[in-house]
Amino acid sequence: MNPNDVIVKPVISEKTTDLMSKNKYVFRVPMKANKKMVSAAVKAIFGVQPERVNMIVVRGKTRRIRFQVGRRAAWKKAIVTLKAGEKIEIFESK
């Protein structure tokens, strides 16, 4: 897989912005991706060495639209912890 296909997009929320102060960054990844693929993709795209990668499968929520019941799609997120002193410049605000 191409590194740009492994990292779909960053997840930006209050919780993930708080994690950035602890050197942890959260990305949305494909369901097929594993820890080694995510680690290699972060190293190739951002030029930083990940210390560890945690993966979480977020289950799709049940949603009701009028009289029909449906589900959102499940997705996978990766929490990447970087070594001390390293950071991804794109996420840092000025």
To the nearest whole number, what is the mean pLDDT of the chain? 93
Domain 3-82's class?
Answer: alpha beta
pLDDT at 93 over 80: no
Q: Which residues contact 77 (CB under 8 A, 6 or more apart)?
A: 11, 26, 27, 28, 29, 55, 56, 58
pLDDT at 1 (0 to 100): 81
The predicted model scores a pTM of 0.88
Q: What angle do CA 78, 57, 86 make, to 5 degrees?
A: 10
CB 29 within 8 A of CB 42: no
Q: What is the mean pLDDT of residues 39-59?
A: 96
Listed by start position, the domains of the chain span: 3-82
Residue 56: φ, ψ to 5°? -135, 135
Which of 21-25, 70-74, 90-94 is least confident?
A: 90-94
